[in-house]
Amino acid sequence: MSKITTLLLGASLAMAASASFTSAAAEGEALYTAKLCQTCHGPEGKAPIMALYPKLNGQNKEYLLAQMKDIKSGARSNGMAAAMKAMVANVSEEEMAAIADYLANVK
């Protein structure tokens, strides 16, 4: 494989990964709004309406996803989980993952 071919292949892979991330981020952002997350956690998860509600932006994706799944399943029932249980009831795992990915990357 020539150096030019290798460079072009690398550039193509980087562009595809970037487009995939942009698409996933856009989907997560749209779901964050559609599922009314901003109602309590504020725009981009940065400004909760109450001090008891956590800021979500910049949190670890796996942590966010685990919390949503645990609240939905009932494994987590402490704190404000009761308020969240109704909110995540109609959110699929795929949607949770997209929302978690979006929030983890908001700066």
pLDDT at 21: 47
pLDDT at 17: 42
Please say whether the beta carbons of 99 and 56 come within 8 A. Answer: no
Domain 3-105 sits in CATH 1.10.760.10? yes
pLDDT at 9: 45
pLDDT in tens, the chain (107 residues): 556 544 444 444 444 444 444 566 689 999 999 999 999 999 999 999 999 899 999 999 999 999 999 999 999 998 889 889 999 999 999 999 999 999 999 98
pLDDT at 1: 57
Domain residue ranges in the chain: 3-105
- What beta strand segments (E) does 1-107 contain? none
Please say whether the beta carbons of 87 and 35 come within 8 A. Answer: yes
Per-residue tokens: 72: 């939905």
**3-class state of residue 41 by DSSP:** helix
